[in-house]
Structure 1
Amino acid sequence: MATVTGSASLLLCLMTISFVAAAAATPSPSKKSEDHGKTLSLTLYQHETINKTAYMVVDGVAGAGVSQTTTPFGTIYVFRDNLTVHADRASAVAGVAEGSSVTTSLDGLLSLSAAKITLDHRGRRGSVSVLGGTHNTKPADHPVVGGTGDFAYALGYVRTSPVDLRGSTVTYKMELSLYWPPYAQYAPTP
Structure 2
Amino acid sequence: MAAAGSSKTASLLICLTMIFFVQQLQSQFVVVAAAAAAASPSDDKSSKELHGKKLSFTLYQQETINKTGYMVVDGVAGAGVSQTTTPFGTVYVFRDELTVRAERSSRVAGVVEGSSVTTSFDGLRSLSLGKITLDHRGRRGSLSVLGGTHNTQPSDCPVVGGTGDFAYAIGYVRTSPVNLRGSSITFKVEFHLYWPPYAHYAPASKH
Identify the TM-score tier after normalising by the shorter chain: 0.7 to 0.9
Deviation at 1:63, TM superposition (A): 1.0
> How far apart, CA to CA, are the structure 2 residues paired with 1:42 and 1:72?
33
**Whose helix fraction is larger, Structure 1's or Structure 2's?**
2
> How far apart, CA to CA, are the structure 1 residues paired with 2:63 and 2:79?
20
> Does the residue aligned with 1:105 lie in a helix, a strand or coil?
coil
> How far apart, CA to CA, are the structure 2 residues paired with 1:132 and 1:126?
20
Residue correspondences, number: 175
Task: Give 2:193's match in structure 1, choosing from 171, 178, 182.
Answer: 178
Stretches of structure 1 that go unaligned for 5 or more consecutive residues are: 1-9
Task: Give 2:91's match in structure 1, choosing from 43, 58, 76.
Answer: 76
Which runs of structure 2 are paired with 1:79-158 in the superposition (5 Å)? 79-158=94-173
Which runs of structure 2 are paired with 1:35-74 in the superposition (5 Å)? 35-74=50-89
Q: What is the Cα-based RMSD across aligned positions, in Å?
A: 2.6
TM-score (norm 1): 0.84
Q: Is the 8 A contact 1:33 1:39 kept in 2?
A: no
Stretches of structure 2 that go unaligned for 5 or more consecutive residues are: 1-24
> How far apart, CA to CA, are the structure 2 residues paired with 1:32 and 1:105?
43
Deviation at 1:32, TM superposition (A): 6.0
TM-score (norm 2): 0.77
Letter in 2 for 1:189: A
Q: 1:33 to 1:169 in 2, by over 3 A?
A: farther
Letter in 2 for 1:43: T
> How far apart, CA to CA, are the structure 1 residues paired with 2:155 and 2:124?
12
Q: How many percent identity over aligned positions?
A: 77
> How far apart, CA to CA, are the structure 2 residues paired with 1:185 and 1:163?
31
* Max Rg structure: 2
Deviation at 1:69, TM superposition (A): 1.0
Q: 1:33 to 1:168 in 2, by over 3 A?
A: farther
